[in-house]
Structure 1
């Protein structure tokens, strides 16, 4: 077989362990897609929108640790990749985007559909280059892959339309020599951190995804310091299950126990986290931060000791220097608060909650029509989903309910747009996840705003007969935006959605559609959705007026909410 530019790319991707390339076919990609067509072990996944392709590739990268790959053809096809690639970049997921370009002789001439890809992807990519000669391959491909994997980001390789089927002058395979360095701080810095932590009486841990590979070391540290462990959302996977120190999340999606743990400690140990919300950090507290990226140290909260290094390697060196803390009151008090909060949340998640005396008062405030509470839906999903299910969640209220009610027990996995915060991510990420693990249950927790934004790629899931379970929190609102408006004292505006019967739409597209409108039918509906083979969309009409109480509700937020409700209900109060 002739070693063309396209064939060199395809052979190299297969050797790297890449199994799927996501995209939309087009003229400049024809040599690439034809090379994929004739190569065993690497499949083309034709999506309906390139943004979905990029989300799917990023999801595979995050779940597998293998390079994710997507493709877009000339101009608009490549532009459409951009949002999904930003999500991969913000998630530090290694993704290669192969982009088409106009023929070499037409470049820089304002040709039909021409876009300057090197400029377009300048902000999102750790590497970007346009192939202008076959002799640049495979060297240029090697550089792109090394940058994506080594720096944890997006590489964009642009291939002009008349270059993909040209033969290489040098006949050699691509060589990547990929490796990962494991580093730890020097002994002086470790001793300084140990002195600070040993002098504290109440230490709290804030644990992020960067500590996921060091679970045992983190748990031993929590035990040594008798420290409650606050988790970021991305640390739910890996740290929520069988953890006697965990107290849930902080921030707007969090709980009062986690906020208490942070506010009442006199030392904070941050492990592999770049938690961005500064208002939720403690104010009068000594801080030690461990992160493999030195530029992350101290950028969210002032740090007394910053330790640049791998979390596991650093903790293994630090642990022998730490004293055993005998007083466990800080841990016990916070865990007790967490248990009581969870008991209250589970009562709220009971579909019969609003009919009981304890629930009637709240229902009179925020659920007068006795609609299905989203908490009840999330709790039912947690009950019936498989122990090794892969979850994706849309940005917004679907993620709030997941964070509070869906536990990452057993071998469950979790991804979402938790850094970029894009809408419409959960369904295409589930597409990538299901192709990565065809034998596992994949559950996408979607908002109605997010799902409808990339609705067309439901057809991709149906076309490939992927057994993805779409769970739709159908509240006929952009719920997070409504909450933000009302907390600021503004009346709800522009957030209402005129939705179709999504179950019927899904049925027309080749799914099994299940629609639930009454609380008493909720558990039967969730059970049916998860037990039905093939792709299923579960459309659950949830309460549009649900109040998600933050971890530390303020007087200002309460007043803003009351003022907003008054403006919504009473005429003449909008000014």
Structure 2
């Protein structure tokens, strides 16, 4: 018997090993969701917002390295997918979005809810097309999946509501991609890069997520060159644990040791990273860049040798040509600075910090309400979370505290909107992660502003009994925006949030809610959250005035902050 368009699509998803399809049901999707209902091994996950569905699908794709799938019905349903799909595109992870459409005969008539999906998704998708005939299947599906997988991007296939139930006249199985090629540069390019590196006496590595499958080769490179290793945030999960060469992150969330390792090197090797912040690159050194994407070479900083290829394969070819370092002082100096910085951070994260003399003096200036220090919260979560926990973090201050106080040791994984920088990503990404790994602990570092945006999908967590632990940094602020305003010398404006009791909201929805207002109760509360079965929301009132000093604070930033604080004090006195 000939299959329908919907059956061809869902059978192909099953063959690809797709286990979950995220979305919100709607009439244009009815043939597809009905096909999912009757398919073994492919489950429909009904979300409360399509944006959450797209974030969840992208999270599963990043964790598995395979295709994530989400769906949105005609018009607004598909529009709502956009933000989560942009996050997947910027994260370079393959996601297939199935978008509903008005009946075929009504296309172009400005029909109720009609949206031009091919135009709507033009910027975000590496492939987009509308099915206009059953006979275009499965060829069009194959093209969409191949584009998403081969280009590590988003493919959008639009299916009019009246086509899903139509049968194919020439049915055949979909032929879908199984493997990706491994490429490396040619030998002359390898030798040229090696000569540049050998001429340097102080080599620093800048390592990104694109090197995550080449950990052994990157560590061997660091040992051969006695090179400190600066990690991007997305490289934490693969390189932070059991690594005697790493010196943490650079940029605004970074530390002085990483800044020093970059500023004092005479040769920089960039491995699988497109780190975008130009101001944090060294300016007087030779640069070698290895990246699978040729278009990334030289995009952020001029390179003396750009090698397009797989990081692991390229380093295996390069290592025999590299001289072993005789002087290890560059590495030792960076690591000493890093150890000193970590010791200072541990003092800040001490739950009893504000009871000591320095802490009492500091509290008189920035924490008169004696709220919980976010450093202490992040450190407590780090100590109680399992060695294979999957972490997600909202964009903003929640990510800052995670980057500084959570160590990606063991088999821990990390997800966030680290390229798009969207709010509201942590909770829906945690949903996708927990479904992908039901036996692993999943912890979401949520900002109060981010969680509020997609609060409705707490009900998705309840519906599917997902034991995610949501840690809410409840500082009643859009904290990163507040900090940016003050560093520019501006009075804080528009950042204050009139929050509910998030723990009470969670309890009303059938989740376990725990609210913490007393620093003395922090450790026990975090422990209880992790010991409690099922989904838990831990609402912790943190200090809204907390500062996160960057690795290289500038005089301009300090002066701007001082001016802002004076303005805020005068405004407070007037009020």
TM-score between the two structures when normalised by the length of structure 1? 0.99
Residue deviations 1:205-234, cap 9 Å, x none?
A: 000000000000000000000000000000
Which residue is equivalent to 1:288?
A: 288
Change (3 A) 1:255 1:572: closer
Aligned-residue offset at 1:362: 2.3
Which residue is equivalent to 2:355?
A: 355
Which residue is equivalent to 1:35?
A: 35
Residue deviations 1:44-76, cap 9 Å, x none?
A: 000000000000000000001120000000000
1:206 equivalent in alignment to 2:206: yes
Which residue is equivalent to 1:93?
A: 93
Aligned-residue offset at 1:364: 2.4
Which residue is equivalent to 1:81?
A: 81
Q: Distance in 2 between matches of 1:170 and 1:571?
A: 74
Q: Distance in 2 between matches of 1:149 and 1:306?
A: 25
Which residue is equivalent to 1:321?
A: 321
Q: Distance in 1 between matches of 2:547 and 2:425?
A: 24
Q: Distance in 2 between matches of 1:192 and 1:66?
A: 35
Q: Distance in 1 between matches of 2:2 and 2:24?
A: 25
Aligned-residue offset at 1:573: 11
**2:512 and 2:535 in contact (8 A); partners too:** yes
Q: Distance in 1 between matches of 2:515 and 2:135?
A: 57
Aligned-residue offset at 1:182: 1.0
Spell out the pairing of 1:129-148 with structure 2 (5 A cutoff). 129-148=129-148
More deviation in 456-465 or 360-369? 360-369
Which residue is equivalent to 2:17?
A: 17
**2:56 and 2:428 in contact (8 A); partners too:** yes
The runs of 5 or more residues in structure 2 that have no matched partner are none
Spell out the pairing of 1:446-525 with structure 2 (5 A cutoff). 446-525=446-525
Spell out the pairing of 1:389-400 with structure 2 (5 A cutoff). 389-400=389-400
Q: Distance in 1 between matches of 2:457 and 2:471?
A: 15
Which residue is equivalent to 2:229?
A: 229
More deviation in 68-77 or 186-195? 186-195
**2:256 and 2:551 in contact (8 A); partners too:** yes
Q: Distance in 1 between matches of 2:31 and 2:261?
A: 57
Q: Distance in 1 between matches of 2:496 and 2:113?
A: 36
SS at match of 1:245: coil
Spell out the pairing of 1:518-537 with structure 2 (5 A cutoff). 518-537=518-537
The runs of 5 or more residues in structure 1 that have no matched partner are none
Q: Distance in 2 between matches of 1:5 and 1:518?
A: 58
SS at match of 1:269: strand
**1:204 and 1:268 in contact (8 A); partners too:** yes
Which residue is equivalent to 1:115?
A: 115
Residue deviations 1:137-159, cap 9 Å, x none?
A: 00000000000000000000000
**1:58 and 1:88 in contact (8 A); partners too:** yes
Which residue is equivalent to 1:185?
A: 185
Q: Distance in 2 between matches of 1:573 and 1:293?
A: 55
Residue deviations 1:173-219, cap 9 Å, x none?
A: 11113321111111111111111111111000000000000000000
SS at match of 1:570: helix
Aligned-residue offset at 1:367: 1.6
CA RMSD of aligned residues (A): 1.1
**2:22 and 2:54 in contact (8 A); partners too:** yes
SS at match of 1:273: coil
**1:228 and 1:246 in contact (8 A); partners too:** yes
**1:150 and 1:178 in contact (8 A); partners too:** no
Q: Distance in 1 between matches of 2:185 and 2:228?
A: 25
Q: Distance in 2 between matches of 1:66 and 1:291?
A: 20
Spell out the pairing of 1:271-282 with structure 2 (5 A cutoff). 271-282=271-282
Which residue is equivalent to 1:51?
A: 51
Which residue is equivalent to 1:104?
A: 104
Which residue is equivalent to 2:307?
A: 307
**2:70 and 2:96 in contact (8 A); partners too:** yes
Q: Distance in 1 between matches of 2:163 and 2:312?
A: 45
SS at match of 2:129: strand
**2:2 and 2:169 in contact (8 A); partners too:** no
Q: Distance in 2 between matches of 1:199 and 1:228?
A: 17
**1:567 and 1:573 in contact (8 A); partners too:** no
Which residue is equivalent to 1:154?
A: 154
SS at match of 2:155: strand
Aligned-residue offset at 1:346: 0.5
**1:126 and 1:147 in contact (8 A); partners too:** yes
- How many aligned residue pairs are there? 574
**1:566 and 1:573 in contact (8 A); partners too:** no
Aligned-residue offset at 1:371: 1.2
SS at match of 1:552: coil
SS at match of 2:254: coil
Aligned-residue offset at 1:363: 2.1
Which residue is equivalent to 1:444?
A: 444
**2:2 and 2:171 in contact (8 A); partners too:** no
Q: Distance in 2 between matches of 1:355 and 1:554?
A: 30
Q: Distance in 2 between matches of 1:341 and 1:367?
A: 23
Which residue is equivalent to 1:561?
A: 561
